[in-house]
Amino acid sequence: MSAGNMNLTLKIWRQTGADDKGGIHTYEVSGISQDMSFLEMLDVLNEQLNELGEEPIAFDSDCREGICGMCSLMINGEAHGPEVTTTCQLHMRSFKDGDTITIEPWRSSAFPVIKDLCVDRSAFDRIIQSGGYISANTGSAPEANSVPVPRDNAVRAFNVATCIGCGACVAACPNGSASLFLGAKITHLGELPQGQPERWSRVVDMSAQHDHEGFGGCTNIGECTAACPKEIPLDVISQLNRDLRTAMKHGH
């Protein structure tokens, strides 16, 4: 692993605030090592900019472990870049010396740009507020083992509960749909016995909120699942559609 020897050209979207038009700026960075994470590479650039007296580029990240969902970035036209992982877990060994890398924020009217590469994803919180929970007041819970959950359901619920709410699915979808995120939550709660009582109202209310937030409709293109760092499968969207249909039948 050759250390500290990559030179890159970065084309980065800069935008001072919500009402600024914004545009692409071009920067050169040198001395990038293959062991750096993509965000550490941007840290290096920001140090350089700070030196030069140019305001550093704003981008989101927190855990830098691929679990909090705070980081984003459209990298060369792919959400979270070329690997199946989050931007913070993407490492520079996925790039070559001399590469030109274009970096843009998530693009969605439901995710307005705050500054540079930071967007506002509170639409996801509002989708959860509209029904993405199981109503169980503290203290009211029965003994945990009183309700066994068949292992297969438990496993499927877990596999889709791993969604980190990053929004890459929306960013990648040509329709700007959040169906994968929505389907993941519907499937997680729908697989569990505890999730049954609110199952039908949940899917109706959450879908309504999804559309209300201005996300596009799903036409099953599949770019979302390809971009998803947690590999949430397309069948959650199928599940979403099926639950929605059943709910309609039940007159919700």
* 192 in Cβ contact with 227 (< 8 Å): no
CB atoms within 10 A of CB 234: 18
Three-state secondary structure call for residue 20: coil
193 and 150 in contact (C-beta within 8 Å)?
no
Q: For residues 111 and 167, is the Cβ–Cβ distance under 8 A?
A: yes
Q: Which is nearer to ligand SF4, 13 or 124 (CB)?
A: 124
By CB under 8 A, residue 172 contacts another protein: yes
Which of 6, 38, 69, 216 forms a contact with ligand FES (CB under 6 A)? 69
Tell me the closest approach of the beta carbon of residue 229 to ligand F3S, in angstroms. 15
CB of 183 to ligand F3S, least distance (A): 9
* Residue 80 C-beta: closest distance to ligand F3S, Å: 14
Q: Which stretch binds ligand F3S (CB under 6 A): 1-9, 96-104, 130-138, 212-220?
A: 212-220
**Reduced to 3 states, what is the DSSP secondary structure of residue 10?**
strand
Residue 70 as a binder of ligand F3S (CB under 6 A): the answer is no
Nearer to ligand F3S, 96 or 212 (CB): 212
Whose CA is closest to 4, among 29, 41, 32? 32
Tell me which residues in 189-218 interact with ligand FES (CB under 6 A): none
Reduced to 3 states (helix: H, G, I; strand: E, B; else coil), residue 147 is coil
Q: Is there a contact between 115 and 57 (Cβ–Cβ < 8 Å)?
A: no
Binder among 124, 200, 202, 232 for another protein (CB under 8 A) = 124
Angle at 198 between CA 171 and CA 181, to 5 degrees: 10
Determine if 74 is a binding residue for ligand SF4 (CB under 6 A).
Answer: no
Question: Residue 232 binds what, of another protein, ligand F3S, ligand SF4, none (CB under 5 to 8 Å, by partner type)?
Answer: ligand SF4
Is 127 a binder of ligand F3S (CB under 6 A)? no
Q: Is 91 helix (H, G, I), strand (E, B) or coil?
A: strand
> Is residue 180 part of the contact set for ligand F3S (CB under 6 A)?
yes
Shortest Å, Cβ 251 to another protein = 18
Nearer to ligand F3S, 83 or 223 (CB): 223
Q: Phi and psi (nearest 5°) for 9?
A: -105, 125
Q: How far apart are CA 81 and CA 75, in angstroms?
A: 5
- Subset of 5-64 contacting ligand SF4 (CB under 6 A): none
Instruction: List interacting residues with ligand SF4 (CB under 6 A).
Output: 163-169, 180-181, 184, 228-230, 232
